[in-house]
Amino acid sequence: MTTAKDLFIIAMDPERSVGQGDLSLALAGAELIDLIGAGAVDLDGDRIVPGAAATPDDRLMREAASGLTRQAPYERIDDWLWRRGTDLSSTYQAALEQDGELTRKRSGRSPFGSERMEPVDTPAHRSAVDRGKEEPVLAALASVMGIDGERSDGADDADDDVEPGLDDEAVTTVVAAVHDAVMELEAVRQRRSIEKAAFANVWRGP
């Protein structure tokens, strides 16, 4: 399983609640980290520089690799996260459901209750959970989304959120970029909530 698939399975734990936008950004970061690990890309500052034309075995990783910008000036990490991350959580949900790693369950006893996706107890699921506990990269990405730790709401604490256990500069750079993107998304949510509340007050009147 790829880092992104393991991350998705961890995020689907029924005891957790992760925003789809946050998850999509983190999945894009996980893909980039795996591409770095495979030697398919390298980083030049905040730019993603394609390396050897590797062909990953995983279908979604092949899609990610095929979408790389291969001409200078190369794509910035944050631009990659927003572009590749668009609806990426839905893409992974469909793929993992097709692979039998996710199942649909209804809440409560009513057959008309709302559906939600839950991971199936498979060897891949157990491996993902174990990896999330032991591997700093996966733990760091999960932490950015608020899983197994308090997510910071301030840029000054960004270094704490990328996990000091990471020992690869490129990976640390990617995790930090994911953190910044998730914080930016949260700021947009808050701004829209304030604007919506202000608009409602105008219509409500004194």
| Distance of alpha carbon 174 from alpha carbon 46, whole angstroms | 9
- Whether the CA torsion 86, 38, 137, 155 is positive or negative: it is negative
What is the structure's pLDDT at 87?
93
Q: How far is CA 192 from CA 1, 19, 178, 197, in A?
A: 37, 16, 21, 8
CA 157: distance to chain centroid?
19
The string of pLDDT tens digits covering residues 131-188 is 888 889 999 999 999 886 434 344 344 444 444 456 689 999 999 999 999 999 988 8
pLDDT greater than 50 at residue 93? yes
- Tell me the pLDDT band of 129, cut-offs 50, 70 and 90: confident
Task: Please give the helix or strand (H or E) that residue 204 lies within, else none.
Answer: helix 169-204
Q: What region, left, alpha or beta, does residue 147 occupy, with left being phi > 0 and alpha being psi -120 to 50 degrees?
A: beta
